[in-house]
Structure 1
Amino acid sequence: MPHDPAHHDDHHSHPHEPAPPPVGAYPRIRMRRNRADAWTRRMVSENRLTADDLIWPVFILPGENRREPVPSMPGVERLSIDLLVPAVAEAAELGIPCVALFPANPPEVKDPMGRESANPDNLMCRAMRALKRQVPDIGLFGDVALDPYTSHGHDGILRDGRIVNDETVEVLVRQALVQADAGCDIVGPSDMMDGRIGAIREALDAHGHQGVRICAYSAKYASAFYGPFRDAVNTGALLTGDKKTYQMDPANSDEALREVQLDLQEGADMVMVKPGLPYLDIIRRVKDTFRVPTLAYNVSGEYAMLKAAAANGWLNYDKAMLEMLLAFKRSGADAVLTYAAIEAAKLLRQQG
C-alpha cells in the first residue's frame, strides 16, 4: 500500500528519541523527597499515636495485696483492688484517659444465671468505687457481659443448650445499672445479645444516669484470638461449646455494618470492633460509613503473639507494638483497648 502523506504517523515522528515522561511522573515527582528527613516525616505524617488514644484493660482479683501473672499474657497481672489503685494512678499520670475493668471472679460466686453480675457489692463495683475515690480523673469503662459470672462461661443465660436472648438482656440491664451506680463512666455491653443497647439506655436514663455512655461491642466476632483473655478471667476451662450463635461470623463484613447501625439507633454513644488486627477492614468500613467514635480492641491473642515472637528474638517488641497500634489509628479507630497501654504510653513519652 503506497504511503499516504495525509496519514503521517505523528505518534512515531521521532522513533529514536524517548517519549517525554507524563506530567506528574518520575523524575519530576520523587516520592522519597518527603521521607528524606525526620522533621519532614513528622510534618507530613497522616496519623499519630498518643497516650490519648489508649484504653488500658485491667483484671481484678478479690482479696488484698494479691497479684497473679497471666501466663499466656507476659507482663499482664491480675491485681487486687488495693494494688489496682496505684497501677491505675500510674496510667493516669502517663496520660491514659480510661481503664477497662474485668473481674477474675472465684468459682463460688458463679452460677448458671450470672446473678453476681447484678450484685451492687460485687468485685467490679467495689473496684469502681475505690478508683472513683482515689483516681477520680481517669475514665472507667465497665464490661457488661455474664461470662465472668456464669458457671458455664457463656455471655448469657443457657437453657436447653441455647443462649436465651431476652432473659439475658434483663440481667445485663441490672448489671449496667449497678456499675453506673458505682461510678462507671462507660458501660461496654460485650455480649452481642440483640436489643440490649436500647434496653440499657432506657434503664440508665430512667435511673438518673443520662450521662453514662454506652460503648457497644457492635462487631464482636467469634474469634480464636480470645484464648488468653479467657484464661485471665477464669472462664476458659468452664466454657461449654462455642459462642457462634451470638458472636459474629469472621466471614462477614456487611453484617457488621447492620449491627453498628442498629446499636446506634438504640442509643450507643460509641462502637467497638473486636478483635482488632484481623479486622482492620471492618474498622475502616464502620468509620467511613457512620463517622461515629469507633474503638478497636487489640485483644489478648494479638498481644500474646507479639510477646511470644519477641521472647524468641524474632522481632523488636517495642517497635512492632507501636506499629501495630498506629495501624489501628490508620484504619480509623479513635481509641484502642490494649494490654500494651502502659508500655506504649511510656515509649511515646520518651519519644516526646
Structure 2
Amino acid sequence: MRRFRRLRGSEAMRRLVRETRISAEEMIYPIFVIEGENIKNPIPSMPGVFQYSVDRMDEMLAEVAASGISGVLIFGIPKEKDAVGSQAYAPDGITQRAIRHIKKKYPSLLVVADVCLCEYTSHGHCGLVEGEHILNDETLPLLAKMSVTLAQAGADIIAPSDMMDGRVAAIRHALDEAGLLHIPIMAYSAKFASGYYGPFRDAAHSAPQFGDRRSYQMDVCNKKEALREIADDIEEGADFYIIKPALAYLDVVEAAANRFDLPIAVYNVSGEYAMVKAAAQQGWIEEKRIVMENLIAMKRAGASILITYHALDAASWLKED
C-alpha cells in the first residue's frame, strides 16, 4: 500500500511538496477611472471595488504599490460619448491622463491599457456600427490610434479586448510606425460572450444599447475555435494573451498551455468576483479559502498571470501566510 498521507501530515510538509504556488507578482488589479473630481463611487455589484477620479486614485494606487502586485489594468469612463468613441483615442482623454498620473507617481507599477471602444461609444459596442451591424475593418484604425495614444501616455502593455478580426496586426503596425516597437501586446485572444460580465458593465458604463456582442465575442461552446483565435493573434504579433473569463474556461487554459509557449493571462472577471463576495457576505463560504482555491486552480491549469479584482486581498493573505 502506498502511503500518500506521509507527505500531508503537517503544514510544513504540505508546503515543502506543494506543486502549484501563487504570488502577488503574478497579479494584475483592474481599476476604473472616471472623469470628474473628488469621485470615489462604490460599485454595488462588486463590493470593495470603486470608480475613482484621477485626483483620488492615489488612495488605491498606494495600496497596490505596497502590496507587491505587478500592476494595474486600466479602464476609462469618459464624461462624453459619441458614435465613434472619440474620447478613446483623444491624447488628453480620461484614460491617457490617468496613465500619465500613475507613471509619474508610481513608475514601478506596470500599466496595462485596455483597448476597446465600448466604454467610449454612445451605442456601447466595441466597434463602429452601421445600423445594427458591427463593422470590423472600419474599426481597426481607431483601435490602432487608441493604442498609440495610450502607449505615448506611458502604458507599458497594450491589451486589445474588442475581438475584431485582425486588430493585433493593425495595432502592432501602428505601434511600430510610431516608434513604439518596445511596447508589448497582451491580446484578449479568447474572450467569450459570457454571462459573467454583468457587474463590469455597471462599473464601466459599457452595456450595449442594442443587441449583444455575440457576433464578435466567442461562442461559449467552442474550445477549438479559441485555440485558433490564440494562434492567429500570436501570428499577428501578440506577445502574450488573455483567456476570459477564467473559472468556467480552465479547460481552454490547459489546452492553450499545452499548445503554445507564450505566457497566458486569465481574467477572473466581475461576475466570478461578485458571486464569491455575495456568498461570503451571507456567511455561506469562507472567502479567503475560496478565493485562494480559485486562483490556484487558474495557475494549475497553466495561467502565468492572474488578472483579478481579488488581487489586493490575495496579496495581503499571502503576506499573512
Task: Specify the TM-score bucket, using the shorter chain as the normaliser.
Answer: over 0.9
Q: What residue is the counterpart of 1:14 in the other structure?
A: none
Q: Per-residue displacement from partner, 1:289-323 (whole Å, max 9, x unpaired)?
A: 00211000000000000001011111011111111
Matches within 5 A, 1:267-306: 267-306=237-276
1:80 to 42, 53, 73: 53
Q: Do structure 1's residue 221 and structure 2's residue 192 form an aligned pair?
A: yes
Q: Do structure 1's residue 141 and structure 2's residue 131 form an aligned pair?
A: no
Q: What residue is the counterpart of 2:315 in the other structure?
A: 345
Instruction: Using structure 2 for the length normalisation, give the TM-score.
Output: 0.98
Q: What residue is the counterpart of 2:306 in the other structure?
A: 336
2:141 to 149, 152, 170: 170
Matched residue type, 2:25: D
Flag structure 2 segments of 5+ consecutive residues without an equivalent. Answer: none
1: CA distance, partners of 2:59 / 2:123: 33
Q: What residue is the counterpart of 2:33 in the other structure?
A: 60
Q: Per-residue displacement from partner, 1:113-155 (whole Å, max 9, x unpaired)?
A: 1111110000000000011111000000001000000111111
1: CA distance, partners of 2:279 / 2:227: 34
Matched residue type, 1:87: M
2:8 to 5, 24, 35: 35
Shift of 1:49: 1.0
Residues 309 and 136 of structure 1, relative CA distance in 2, 3 Å threshold: same
Matches within 5 A, 1:150-165: 150-165=121-136
Q: Per-residue displacement from partner, 1:24-66 (whole Å, max 9, x unpaired)?
A: xx2xx11111111111111111110110111000000112221
Q: What residue is the counterpart of 1:231 in the other structure?
A: 202
SS in structure 2 at match of 1:165: coil
Matched residue type, 2:232: L
1: CA distance, partners of 2:156 / 2:260: 23
Q: Do structure 1's residue 266 and structure 2's residue 236 form an aligned pair?
A: yes
Q: Do structure 1's residue 245 and structure 2's residue 215 form an aligned pair?
A: yes
Shift of 1:105: 2.4
Flag structure 1 segments of 5+ consecutive residues without an equivalent. Answer: 1-25
Tell me if structure 1 keeps the 8 A contact 2:77–2:120: no
Q: Per-residue displacement from partner, 1:189-210 (whole Å, max 9, x unpaired)?
A: 0000000101111110111111
Matched residue type, 1:105: P
Tell me if structure 2 keeps the 8 A contact 1:85–1:130: no
Q: What residue is the counterpart of 2:227 in the other structure?
A: 257
2: CA distance, partners of 1:239 / 1:306: 28
Q: What residue is the counterpart of 2:165 in the other structure?
A: 194
2: CA distance, partners of 1:82 / 1:342: 21
Tell me if structure 2 keeps the 8 A contact 1:105–1:233: no
Q: Per-residue displacement from partner, 1:312-340 (whole Å, max 9, x unpaired)?
A: 11101111111111111111000111011
Shift of 1:69: 0.2
Q: Do structure 1's residue 316 and structure 2's residue 289 form an aligned pair?
A: no
* Deviating 4+ runs (over 6 angstroms): none
1:104 to 77, 82, 91: 77
Matched residue type, 2:11: A
Q: What residue is the counterpart of 1:50 in the other structure?
A: 23
Q: Per-residue displacement from partner, 1:206-259 (whole Å, max 9, x unpaired)?
A: 1111111100000000000000000001122x4311101100000000001100
Q: What residue is the counterpart of 1:11 in the other structure?
A: none
SS in structure 1 at match of 2:138: helix
2: CA distance, partners of 1:66 / 1:32: 53
Matched residue type, 1:149: Y
SS in structure 2 at match of 1:47: coil
Please tell me whether Structure 1 or Structure 2 has the larger radius of gyration of its CA atoms: 1
Q: What residue is the counterpart of 1:114 in the other structure?
A: 85
SS in structure 1 at match of 2:111: strand
1:181 to 146, 149, 152: 152
Tell me if structure 2 keeps the 8 A contact 1:61–1:105: yes
1: CA distance, partners of 2:214 / 2:88: 23
1:126 to 73, 77, 97: 97
Matched residue type, 1:169: L
Tell me if structure 1 keeps the 8 A contact 2:78–2:93: no
Tell me if structure 1 keeps the 8 A contact 2:113–2:159: yes
Q: What residue is the counterpart of 1:307 in the other structure?
A: 277
2: CA distance, partners of 1:313 / 1:303: 16
Matched residue type, 2:100: R
